[in-house]
Amino acid sequence: MLIDGAIKFATMGREGLAAGDHEKSYEGFSQARAIVTELMTSVRQDVAPELCERVRSLYTFMYTELVSASLEKDIGKADRVIELLGFERETWVMLMEQLKAERAAGAAPVGASGLAAAPASAQATVPDAGYRPLSLEG
């Protein structure tokens, strides 16, 4: 739900930029930044420290881009954040569907991390249509 809210408000900020509506832009980007900050600070470091640091870095990047989009009135940066948030949302949806399927099939119980390990077959298959690996490196 937080990611949906971040997408909604980042889109609102982007639309405000495009229309020259400074109030709408400010409100949208402010709310999106607040949500991204919440996502960034709620990552549980004790579960998988390396993964958590990468996720936190992604949220930090999104936050920085939202600030830049707002200050520089850069629609491209807003679009980039909205796209990343969309990928993040898709990832969570896929994970929840996988966990639901595994539980329904009587798969291995969820581990201490709160997530069940994906079966080897699920790890090897990646949706092909429009899939692009996400990288924070140049």
pLDDT of residue 107: 59
Specify the pLDDT at position 21: 97
Cα separation of 36 and 86, whole Å?
13
* SS3 of residue 84 by DSSP: helix
Residue indicated by tokens 């900020």: 13
CB-CB contact of 118 with 107 (8 Å):
no
- Grade residue 43 by pLDDT with cuts at 50, 70 and 90: confident
Residue 112 lies in a domain: no
Q: What is the pLDDT of residue 97?
A: 94
Spatial CB neighbours of 32, under 8 Å, sequence gap ≥ 6: 6, 9, 10, 12, 13, 66, 81
In the block, residue with structure tokens 């936050």: 63
Lowest mean pLDDT among 54-68, 69-83, 106-120: 106-120
- Please indicate, yes or no, if residue 89 is contained in any of the structural domains: yes
User: Can you give the pTM of this predicted structure?
Assistant: 0.71
The count of structural domains within the chain is 1
- Residue-range definition of the domain harbouring residue 29: 2-106
Report the CATH number that the domain containing residue 52 is assigned in CATH.
1.20.120.340
